[in-house]
A and B are shown apart, each in its own frame.
Chain A
Amino acid sequence: MATLEIRNLHVSVETEQGTKEILRGVDLTVRSGETHAIMGPNGSGKSTLAYSIAGHPKYTVTEGTVTLDGEDVLAMSVDERARAGVFLAMQYPVEVPGVTVSNFLRTAKTAIDGQAPKLRTWVKDVKNAMTELKIDPAFAERNVNEGFSGGEKKRFEILQMELLKPSVAILDETDSGLDVDALRIVSEGVNRVIASGDVGCLLITHYTRILRYIKPQFVHVFVNGRVVEEGGPELADELEENGYDRFLAAAGAAAETGAVEQVDQVTVEPANA
């Protein structure tokens, strides 16, 4: 049983125009066994949330906390986070030339478990997982993500998730760029992991179509760097119907309110000082 708690998370990134705040106070709790969908329009900061939790050096956390079972995730290095149980299925998996899939999987599994997997069961586990995801066994000897198609890369991400058995899995737009067949295969893989009951799943998506295959209990609408509305699966249906317009309009109004709050704080500050 694991719990990922995100509290008031503010994250900024350095751009050519200077520092830009992307996450503006995210609150979210994910427990193992739960599946959460984070839905939002392009540029709302969904991917930033995913990469910030995983610890990508490009993003700077300026405020807030992320804890996993009370442990301070933000104090951990990228690999420590992974060993603590955080898994990020990336939207754009990276090619690692000269490192074979089988070597990579075994090295990662050894790092996560703290010991090398038992050879016989491991080979079988890898083979079975590859078969279920319809990954050609020849991929084991290919270099990580090198020359993989978009769909192959996404299936390989899910393969890793199945084998590494994280306690919190963040899937960053895993559905993007997939045709219907690939989407179904990938979704089945995710559902197998969810069915184990051991993982808390954070499904980040722009579209609702993956939710036909993976059923979240919680849906969060993400606009302008924060969660603006939360609900159950019915919220996804509404988004399917009406898109993000209502939330975008509300966010515009909220941004103005936010400006007023800012002024209030400024007036308070001298008293504190």
Chain B
Amino acid sequence: MAVELKKPPVAGGVTPLATKKPGADQAHTDSGATFVPDQSRAERTRSFDLDAFPVPNGREEDWRFTPVKELADLFQPAPTEGEKYRQDVNAPAGVKTSKVPADDERLGQVGTPGDRAAAVAWNAKDQATIVKIPSGTELGEAVRVVLTASDEARINRHVLIEAGHHSKAIVALTHEGSARLTGNVEISAGDGADLTVVTIQEWDDEAVQLDQHDILVGRDARVRHIAITLGGKVVRLSTNVRYAGPGGSVECLGVYFTDAGQHQEHRLFVDHEPVHCTSNVEYRGALQGDGAHSVWVGDVLIRAAAHATDTYELNRNLVLTDGARADSVPNLEIETGEIVGAGHASATGRFDDEQLFYLQARGIPEHEARRLVVHGFFAGIINRIGLPGTQAHLMARIEKELADSIDSAFEPAAAATR
């Protein structure tokens, strides 16, 4: 099946979406979801109260893809094991970083926990880190928040990133080592700010991360949120976007490389209410090996007031071997017809035979052609991060994952395609 989805129509499920006028049915899903408990995505529970969220059993809409049995400990509050991890903030001059107590009143203004794990993190955290980029400041280099953990450290993490109005910055969160982490990251971009937040998951094999990112986009602000998930046993990242005023634009980009036994789940919810806002979501994943499981859920809600909204969501999965599973669920709810555009596309497939033929017809051996195609597939996102050193590091890491498997694992996939 064709994987390339640059230009619809290609086999694989581009769904051109007719916009709906007010008064039409409230919810649109074409996800094949069997159970939708709420009338609208907006009605889903959000609360700081742990008891508002029963312990998930795996039958809930928002947990049905997740291996909840492996996560029981993270659904109960437990103290952070401070001695097993460190989180360093390396910030250029001008940035104000601080560690604050858990009850600091600045916390919880941007985001409210949306599931049991986030509520656990909120209630069990012993401190929080605030990164503040003053108004009007343009940073020449990135702020790096480096989390390194060992020995499956239990961590309840809370980070608040505050970009003042008309500031410009890149903040990179990196995660390495071994942890069992629940967390909340609040991201606030002031009016006219230009903020990029990159979250890079390079965990060891046994790590578990259940994380929630909430983004509040100021008037005319531009936010880019980029998730790169390469490691971990279970990584579940829920990213929620709201707009504080008109004219905001958001790009949510993601890359995941899901290996045997890994579960990597990215859930996005973009809530359009102010007018003239845009959102663009693009996640690309590759899967290889037995039991590799990726989940992408992209919810977009265009509320009745959100005139002149322009939104698009795209998820592409490249399945490199047998035994891997990619779930991809785009949902679009539209409550007004007065919009510029709304669409989504999802494609999951093997290598594009035509691309391989083209490269091979120029003498490039098959395994190298495959490597080039996968490289290109990811480079399209990675190269948009804006940090050349990080980009090179991530591409090298992906190259290595490919090289480890390319000759052994890719050939059966090729045979199956023919």
Residue ranges of A at the interface with B (Cβ–Cβ < 8 Å): 54-57, 77-79, 81-83, 87-88, 90, 93-99, 103-104, 107-108, 111-112, 143-144, 146, 160, 164
* Distance in angstroms between the alpha carbons of A146 and B380 in the assembled complex: 12
| Cβ-defined contact, A95 with B4, below 8 A | yes
* Cβ–Cβ contact A107 & B368, under 8 A: yes
Q: Which residues of B contact A103 (CB under 8 A)?
A: 372
B6 at the interface (CB under 8 A from A): yes
Query: Given A57-B353, A94-B355, A96-B373, are A82 and B360 also a contact pair (CB < 8 Å)?
Result: yes
Residue pair B361, A96 in contact (C-beta under 8 Å): no
Interface pair B378/A111, CB less than 8 Å apart: no
Residues 359-418 of B contacting A (Cβ, < 8 Å) = 359-366, 368-369, 372-373, 375-380, 383, 418
Answer yes or no: B63 CB below 8 A from chain A CBs: no
Q: Which residues of A have CB within 8 Å of B383?
A: 98
> Which A residue sits closest to B3, measured CB to CB?
A97
Q: A98-B379, A164-B363 are in contact. Are A111 and B368 (CB under 8 A)?
A: yes
Cβ–Cβ < 8 Å partners of A56 in chain B: 357
B30 on interface, CB distance cutoff 8 Å: no
CB distance from A137 to the nearest CB of B (A): 20
A112: min CB distance to chain B, Å: 4
Contact (Cβ within 8 A) B4 A88:
no
What residues of chain B have their CB less than 8 Å away from a CB belonging to chain A? 4, 6, 353-355, 357-366, 368-369, 372-373, 375-380, 383, 418
* Secondary structure of the B contact surface, majority rule: helix
**C-alpha spacing A18/B369, complex, angstroms:** 31
Instruction: Let me know if B363 and A111 touch, CB within 8 A.
Output: yes
Pairwise interchain contact B354-A111, C-beta atoms closer than 8 A:
no
Cα A97 to Cα B314 with chains together (Å): 15
Given A79-B364, A79-B366, decide whether A94 and B358 contact each other with a Cβ distance below 8 A: yes
CB-defined contacts of A112 to chain B, threshold 8 Å: 362-363
- Asked if residues A88 and B376 are in contact (CB atoms below 8 Å), the reply is no
Interface of A is mostly: mixed
Residue contact B4 to A97, C-beta cutoff 8 Å = yes
Q: How far is the CB of A24 from chain B (nearest CB, A)?
A: 24
Whether A97 and B364, one on each chain, are in contact in the complex, defined by CB atoms closer than 8 angstroms, is no
Closest residue of chain A to B379 (Cβ to Cβ) is A98
Complex CA gap A144/B358 in Å reads 10
Q: Are the CB atoms of B366 and A96 closer together than 8 Å?
A: no
20 pairs of residues in contact across A and B, judged by CB atoms under 8 Å: A57-B418, A77-B366, A78-B360, A78-B366, A79-B362, A81-B361, A82-B362, A82-B364, A95-B4, A96-B355, A96-B372, A96-B376, A99-B372, A99-B375, A99-B376, A104-B362, A107-B372, A111-B362, A111-B363, A111-B365
Chain A CB within 10 A, most for which of B363, B376, B377: B363
Residues of A within 8 A of B362 (CB): 79, 82, 104, 108, 111-112, 160, 164
Q: How far is the CA of A108 from the CA of B372 in the complex (A)?
A: 11
Closest to B353 in A: A57
Q: How far is the CA of A64 from the CA of B362 in the complex (A)?
A: 25
Set of chain B residues within 8 Å of A160, measured between Cβ atoms: 362
Query: Contacts of A77 on B, CB cut-off 8 Å?
Result: 360, 366
Q: Whole-angstrom distance between the alpha carbons of A261 and B31 in the complex?
A: 57
A166 closest partner in B (C-beta) = B363
Excluding A55-B360, A96-B359, 16 further A-B contacts by CB distance (< 8 Å) are: A78-B361, A79-B361, A79-B362, A79-B363, A82-B364, A88-B361, A94-B355, A95-B4, A96-B358, A97-B377, A98-B379, A99-B372, A104-B372, A111-B362, A111-B363, A112-B363
Sorted nearest first, the 9 A-B pairs with minimum C-beta distance are A98-B376, A82-B363, A78-B360, A108-B362, A94-B358, A111-B363, A98-B379, A79-B360, A112-B363
**Nearest opposing residue in chain B for A96, CB measure:** B355
A78 and B383 alpha carbons, distance in the complex (Å):
31
Complex contact B357–A94 (CB within 8 A)? yes
Contact B380 A98 (CB under 8 A): yes
Distance between Cα atoms of A120 and B30 in the complex (Å): 55
Cα–Cα, bound, A208→B6 (Å): 34
User: Which of chain B's residues have a CB closer than 8 A to the CB of A107?
Assistant: 364, 368, 372
Contact B364 A108 (CB under 8 A): yes
Question: Which residue, B358, B361, B369, has most C-beta atoms of chain A within 10 A?
Answer: B361
Q: List chain A residues, Cβ under 8 A from B369.
A: 79
Contacts of B359 in A (CB 8 A): 96, 104, 108
Contact status A108-B380, CB under 8 Å: no
